Amino acid sequence: MATYKGIQGYSVQSLASDPPAEQSVGQLWYNSASNVWKLATQGTAAWASAPARVTGTNSGAGCGTQSAMVTFGGNAAPSYSTSGITQTYNGTSWSVSPVTITARYLMAGFGTSTAAICAGGAAPTTGATEEFDGSSWTAVNALNNLCSHTAGCGTSTAGIKTGGDTPPKSPNLSGNSEKWNGTSWTEVTGFTSGRTNMATGGTQDSCLVMGGTQVPAHLGFVEEYNGTSWSEKADLLTDRSHVGCSANGTVTSMILIAGSLQPPAAAQALTESWNGTSWTEVADLASANNYNVGGGTSTAAINVAGAPNPVNTVVEEYNDPFYSIKTVTTS
């Protein structure tokens, strides 16, 4: 009679604890601690719940990776007044850090959890820029233009702020873009379709601007920056604004997360994946939300929910592929 070793080429191991799923795909073992058989599998992209934030906010900003994230500013629960609340994530839990110097919402945020930039924002519209070192905020040189409802990407020494609403007329939809070199801002070529409430991801000289608002319409427009000029790319499958993205992705690999549909401006759970040429709808979030903050990459992303209450403390992580360990049962 055929044996498992004869078929698979190895014997079933007895282990006191499960090995990492991503390192054990297709392997069967006996977990001696729980007295069950286990099997590691690889599935398609999926979202999974992660530890909730300490305080719910919406319309804030943030940056980082799936295991090292910072969020800041926004409208904080329960009163939803403008705040500078800062929260950091280490892959296991969230903690509260000192607030930003200027309370604001709908601003640009980029960098890492220990070297982040917060620029622009509303209430009132500002060009103020601050840098976070993982424990405190420091005021640095302001944007050349006051700006809110904006976005940005890159690092704390090489970032870019794109679009938004610029005074004195409001809304004054702008494609205005400014580069940050770690010390000061310089205006560069603005993108074609002025808009607010979009997502920006990538690097200073290689980034995408996705979705957004041209009152009252929500947009599906996507534009790519090559360090010199902007070019139009394939539209999103679903027009949306107030949206997050895997901001550390590249112009050939990124995901767009949740956001507001039009009409009405309702929170949704859609996720779209970009391969450099076209968009594909992938796994939905468990919790529909908008005014959210995304981070990470197209294969290991994180979404920090914004609105509506009480969803705004919810955090989900996206992995593609998705690895899991299943208990083997017989019937």
CB-CB contact of 159 with 117 (8 Å)? yes
Of 58, 123, 97, 117, nearest to 308 by C-alpha is: 58
> pLDDT band for position 253 (50/70/90)?
very high
pLDDT > 90? residue 172: no
Q: Note if the pTM is more than 0.85.
A: yes
Q: Do strands 28-31 and 13-15 pair parallel, antiparallel, or not at all (unpaired)? A: parallel
pLDDT > 70? residue 116: yes
DSSP element (H, E) containing 186: strand 185-188
| CA–CA gap between residue 211 and residue 63 (Å, rounded) | 19
CB-CB contact of 235 with 207 (8 Å)? no
* CA-angle at 112, arms to 101 and 85, nearest 5°: 30
Q: Max alpha carbon distance in the chain (Å)?
A: 83
Q: What is the DSSP letter of 26?
A: T
> pLDDT band for position 53 (50/70/90)?
very high
Q: Determine which of 12-16, 30-34, 94-98, 262-266 has the lowest per-residue pLDDT on average.
A: 262-266
Percent of the chain clearing pLDDT 90 (strictly above): 83
Total count of residues recorded for the chain: 331
CB-CB contact of 191 with 162 (8 Å)? yes
What confidence tens digit (pLDDT) does each residue in 286-320 have?
999 999 999 999 999 999 999 998 999 999 999 99
pLDDT > 80? residue 152: yes
| CA–CA gap between residue 303 and residue 200 (Å, rounded) | 14
What domains can you pick out in the chain, each with its CATH number?
13-43 (no CATH), 46-319 (2.120.10.80)
pLDDT > 70? residue 1: no
Give the mean model confidence (pLDDT) for residues 117-123. Answer: 96
> pLDDT band for position 133 (50/70/90)?
very high
CB-CB contact of 176 with 147 (8 Å)? yes
What confidence tens digit (pLDDT) does each residue in 97-113 have?
999 999 999 999 999 99
Tell me phi and psi for residue 22, to 5 degrees: -70, -15
